Amino acid sequence: MPGHPRAARSRSGRTRRAPYARTAALAAVTAVCLLAGACTGSSGGGAQDDPDAETTLTFWHGWSAPSEVEAIDANIEAFEEKHPNITVKTVKNVSDDKLNQALRAGGGDSPDVVSSFATDNVGRFCAANALADLKPFLAKSGIDPAKTFPKPMLDYTQYEGKRCTLPLLGDAYGLYYNKDAFAKAGIEAPPKTFSEFDEVAKKLTKEKGDSYSQLGFMPNYHGYESTVEHFGAQFGVDYFDADGRAANASDPGMKALFTWQRELVDALGGFEKLERHRSTFGDEWGAKHPFHTGQVAMQLDGEWRGKMAKEAGADFEIGTAPLPVPDGQEDSYGKGYLSGTVVGVASSSPRQNAAWELVRFLTTDTNAVVDFANAIHNVPSTLAAMKSPRLNEDPDYRTFVKIAQHPGSRHAPGSVNGAAYLLTLQDLGYAYESGREKSLDAGLRKADRQIDKDLAQAG
């Protein structure tokens, strides 16, 4: 995830006859026009434009913080130097909802190349052919994706065999901990299993009246980044069965996840008390993040947090480690949730060959990937860039590069309606942690039914 945001998703009836008839006729005519013009996005990959011709590409991206915008602009400049015939017009700060809307609308100002932070929408983009299939382009350029990109990143950039996006930097999630607080509590090493994690969280928690002076960990689902899919990577949950039907009620990992989270909530003082503490937290992307201020001693977060904490002036030593794994699965320790920015070519673009040149440069040029990763403090997205000696040496950052390379690391699967199923599970989480939902089994079965119905409605 691009330097920051994103995580939070992980958030009078008697009218006279004549005029009525005319209105109806008008409506009918317009409706027919609508139907005729409705299928813009679905043309196949008819890429016949000449990539060496003078052309202007429109590139949409979601980065908004000044330092990130500067970094992507530098990247684009490097591309323009290599391809003097192509000029790139960038539009920054585009949200995924808008992207979805614009790809549907088509039209003159619509983008040729788009990038998105919401990996969960890849399924929708691929299934609807909103983004062009990149396989022929990869073949033409002699790029073997399997030898170029890490496997988990290859997985989340395709949907049911359609490769309509490529990864452009990644985000790995791990554990940040306050080393000073660890030392004070006599804890020597970061926890490797969830039972160790619970012990550590309890030891680090200092109550003060009906609140906390320091909380070991904020397990509530509204706590920053503590979402079902982030925990889910550790518990090895699959979400769907082989037929693509929701299968959470029968997944022991999913039950273990919900049970563990609920028990930790209770052990740390209960839902109500934790919520009251949570309401005193500063913003996730602001200087007063609870980890920066010492209000929480451990934080599940992506690779950007270390840099943000230092810039915010956190006055303690920061430690980083992979998130723990369930007891008995210690051999898989080191894995984590993986996500990232994806980039693709709009099917509606008349300049797909030129657009591919930009995508190719951004995603596979080792120097471009390394420079961009260093600049915005994200995990690189090619195997070569991960090994590059020019990559940031900061050990905290390296922890996340390692998580990204771990074979067990994964993203939640794509679906035709994006992240809707994750939101459904997250809602169950809110209900279960607060005690509104009493039975986990019944809750999971209900969630499965909801997910299947939503998918059927979307599919």
- In the list 83, 163, 222, 377, the residue contacting another protein (rule: CB under 8 A) is 222
- Beta carbon nearer to another protein, 74 or 128: 128
- Number of shown-chain residues binding another protein (CB under 8 A): 88
Quick check: 453 binds another protein (CB under 8 A)?
Answer: yes
Q: How far apart are CA 388 and CA 380, in angstroms?
A: 10
The reply on whether position 8 binds another protein by CB under 8 A is: yes
Nearer to another protein, 8 or 183 (CB): 8
Residue that has been written with the tokens 């320091």 in this structure = 214
- Which token pair is 186? 């006599």
Cα 416 off chain centre by:
16
CB-based contacts of 104: which residues, under 8 Å, 6+ apart?
40, 41, 130
What phi, psi does 343 have (nearest 5°)? -135, 140
Nearer residue to another protein within complex by CB, 34 or 242: 34
Residue for token pair 């994750």: 422
User: Would you count residue 275 as binding another protein (CB under 8 A)?
Assistant: yes
Q: Examine residue 27 and tell whether it contacts another protein (CB under 8 A).
A: yes
Q: Give the SS3 label for residue 249.
A: coil
Considering only 159-167, 201-209, 236-244, 272-280, which stretch makes contact with another protein by CB under 8 A?
A: 272-280
Q: How far apart are the first and last CA of the chain?
A: 28
Cβ atoms of 51 and 21 closer than 8 Å: no
Amino acid making up residue 274: L
Q: How far is the CB of 437 from another protein (least distance, A)?
A: 12
Q: Does 213 bind another protein (CB under 8 A)?
A: no
Residues 412-451 that bind another protein (CB under 8 A): 417-420, 423-424, 426-427, 430, 450
72-131 positions binding another protein, by CB under 8 A: 91-109, 116-118, 124, 128-130
* Shorter beta-carbon distance to another protein: residue 24 or 53: 24
Cβ 311 to another protein shortest distance, Å: 10
Q: Using the minimum distance from each CB to another protein, give the nearer residue, 24 or 189.
A: 24
CB 172 within 8 A of CB 373: no
Is there binding between residue 291 and another protein (CB under 8 A)?
Answer: no
Q: Which is nearer to another protein, 33 or 183 (CB)?
A: 33
| Smallest gap from residue 290 Cβ to another protein (A) | 10
Strands 55-60 and 113-116: parallel
Binding residue for another protein, selected from 21, 42, 310, 387, defined by CB under 8 A: 42
Report d(CA 242, CA 244) in Å as an integer: 5
- Min. distance of Cβ 450 from another protein in angstroms? 6
Tell me which residue of 432, 272, 309 sits closest to 295, measured CA to CA: 309
What CA–CA distances, in Å, run from 356 to 90, 328, 349?
16, 46, 11
Identity of the residue, 29 or 53, whose beta carbon is nearer to another protein in the bound complex: 29
